[in-house]
Amino acid sequence: MPLEILGPLVLVGIISAVVLVRFVANTPPRLINTASQAQAILLNEFPSVVFGSKVMITKNGCEALIEIKEPANHLGLVHVMGSKHVARLMSVGEIRSITNNDPNDLVLNLKDLTLPKISLQFETDEQKDAALKLFENLKLSEAA
Amino acid sequence: MNELPSFPAVTQLAIPIFIAAIFIEIIFVRFFKAVGEFEVYDVLTSLLMGTGNVVAGILFGFISYGILMWFWQFKFFDLGFFWWIGVIAFLIDDLRYYCYHRIAHRVRWVWAEHVNHHSSQHYNLSTALRQSWTGHFTGMVLLQVPLVLLGFHPAFLAFVYGFNLVYQFFIHTETVNSPAFSRHLAGSVSAALQSQRVTASRC
């Protein structure tokens, strides 16, 4: 097939498929509603993890921060990707910086090309402060 | 020696079919409540990776072809280009692909190339196009050397492999069951890809 036909065909095909999915068939995100749900998602990826007591779910149900006892010096992060979830264990070394925005908004800047930034919007200031405390504990236990 | 015929680029010719099939799958899922899930960036990534795979094939395909043509001089037989030789080549190359796929899931060197295909969180026809760009550098072309030595011309193998890829495209879906005949006839493909359906998106 000549490139003059193949090139535009591929381009139009990709754009059309993406537009079709965006406006017609995008699967609704499977939101995180409860702490046990968030922990179950993390446990699915990391079966040997031992949880702490705190689970912070964001206002929109798209992310959850999970306190971890084992492995030490880690924090669990679960976030929605379409109808699926992605879970990761974060250590201090993976976090470039944390930006404290108002209101109730934390932005994690990560040293990960695939997820350079993630915004955590909490319901209340208290929840945001509790999340910040988890990160501070992480830094302290890493330094210890 | 048999004169080399001009083979069409099967996978390129199938691109309009791929696009149409993706649209049909989307419509079935959305309007006819068929099983299937889509996510915008997931579909976009799959399609761009597929495009890159085609470009990589154009740029680096000479590596694999050159290696096989070098081995062609040592062939034991020259089976020619009869249509029934093509059918046999298709079946044997399908077995070869099964071996490659098995190795790709067991050997880290090859998994580094193949993992891209399993990087999606979803399993739909666009996922079939989520292909690696570095396949020509893994050395897996050596799995085709026995076929070349047996007398299947490298160009003929590339041609029948195109049909293999087109067949495999249609297996990457939750929306329809695999065709019943594939369980009996193309057992190696069916087994490998049924297992791929199970392991897809969680590797």
pLDDT band at B193 (very low <50, low <70, confident <90, very high): low
More confident residue, A30 or B179: A30
Kindly determine whether residue A84 and residue B122, on different chains, have CB atoms separated by under 8 Å.
Answer: yes
Contact at 8 Å (CB) between B152 and B161? no
For chain B, say whether A19 makes contact (Cβ under 8 Å).
no
Residue B54 has pLDDT above 70, yes or no: yes
- The structure tokens listed for B79 are 């089976």
pLDDT tens digit sequence for B87-126: 999 999 999 999 999 999 999 999 999 999 999 988 999 9
ipTM of the complex: 0.76
Short-list A94, A63, A58, A61, CA closest to A78: A63
Sequence ranges of the domains in chain B:
10-30+38-199
Probe site for chain A from B19, B38, B42, B130 (most A CB atoms < 10 A): B38
How many angstroms separate the CA atoms of B71 and B144, rounded? 10
| Residue A56 CB coordination number (10 Å) | 23
Residue B179 has pLDDT above 50, yes or no: no
Residue B167 has pLDDT above 70, yes or no: yes
Q: Report the gap between the CA of A53 and the closest CA in chain B (Å).
A: 28
% of chain A at pLDDT higher than 70? 97
Residue A116 has pLDDT above 70, yes or no: yes
Q: Report the gap between the CA of B113 and the closest CA in chain A (Å).
A: 17
More confident residue, A28 or B132: B132
Residue with tokens 């890809």: B193
More confident residue, B40 or B188: B40
pLDDT band at B198 (very low <50, low <70, confident <90, very high): low
Average pLDDT over every residue of B62-78: 96
Kindly determine whether residue B23 and residue A17, on different chains, have CB atoms separated by under 8 Å.
Answer: yes
Probe site for chain A from B30, B115, B123 (most A CB atoms < 10 A): B30
Residue A35 has pLDDT above 90, yes or no: yes
pTM, whole model, 2 decimals? 0.76
Contact at 8 Å (CB) between B57 and B141? no
**Using alpha carbons only, how large is chain B's radius of gyration in Å?**
17
Q: What is the pLDDT of residue B85?
A: 96
More confident residue, B3 or B73: B73
Residue B75 has pLDDT above 90, yes or no: yes
pLDDT tens digit sequence for A46-105: 999 999 999 999 999 999 999 999 998 899 999 998 788 999 999 988 889 888 877 788
| Residue A73 CB coordination number (10 Å) | 18
For chain A, say whether B42 makes contact (Cβ under 8 Å).
yes
Cis, bond preceding A28 (omega within 30 deg of 0): no
Q: Report the gap between the CA of B103 and the closest CA in chain A (Å).
A: 24
